[in-house]
Amino acid sequence: MKKTALITGASNGIGLELAKVHAAKGGNLVLVARNKSKLDELKNELENQYKINVYTIGKDLSQINAAQDVYDEIAKQHIQIDYLVNNAGFGDYGLFTETDWDKELQMINLNITALTLFTKLFLKDMVQRGSGKIMNVASTASFQPGPLMSVYFATKAYVLHFSEAINNEVQHKGVTITALCPGATETGFQAAGALDDSKLFNGKKLPTGKTVAEFGYKAMMKGKAVAIHGFLNNILARSGGLMPRGIIVKITRMMLDKVK
């Protein structure tokens, strides 16, 4: 029987690549993003290539109750979600005193609130059935504070800790929750977050969204609690606890500063 995956933020980047990975396995899809026309283009491509069913929902998940609306629509369509991938998210760059509050509120609503509500709604169904997998896309930003991206780093720390805690709660109920923690990746994220000129991205050869998606999908299928992409990212993430936090913050600030 084909498994159906719900993927948010599926119109580009890692989300789009995750949709392709799941489709290539012969699975059906529910794709959610603001840009429905892009989703419909992807729907046609995947249905023609893999002979699967793809249902698209155009929705801005940063809006209050958007996650509930999506859940209700899927229920009306009598679609069972076997895998939930909370991928949608965005960041912003700049001093906290100078960044835009409305944008940060949307970031919190998307990165935290929508992800949490989706997890609650679909997890209840999965636990009742005794099967299911959830992948929440966190970040290597989850492991330390991030000056110049303070709200984004904080939201990703939430995603990591929330995912680990809920995974522990359901580990004997046939359901697993994976926190995928990519580092800097070649997607549209850096342009959207005005990060192109930061030392983290500028002049760096970065892994592709496809590479990260394939890694994350395998980790989800294996039921790994935390999946950090890249050898160096693993070392950096896990070594944070060995250094004073003040030094960690300074190093992160140095990495995020603009190239002069």
**Helix residue ranges, H only, 131-196:** 150-170, 189-192
Residue for token pair 């980047």: 13
Long-range contacts of 171-174 (CB under 8 A, 24+ apart): 173/127, 173/130, 174/126, 174/127, 174/129, 174/130, 174/131, 174/132
Contact 217, 134 (CB under 8 A): no
Six token digits for residue 237: 């993430």
The active-site residue out of 50, 71, 83, 152 is 152
Q: How far is CA 174 from CA 82, 120, 133, 217, 240, in A?
A: 12, 16, 9, 18, 32
Contact 83, 134 (CB under 8 A): yes
Question: Which residues have CB under 8 Å from 251's CB, separation 6+?
Answer: none
Q: Measured between alpha carbons, how far is 138 from 136 in angstroms, rounded to an integer?
A: 6
Note if 152 is an active site residue: yes
Determine how β-strand 132-137 pairs with β-strand 83-86. Answer: parallel
Q: List CB contacts of 113: < 8 A, sequence separation 6 or more.
A: 64, 67
DSSP state of 14: H
- Active-site positions read 152
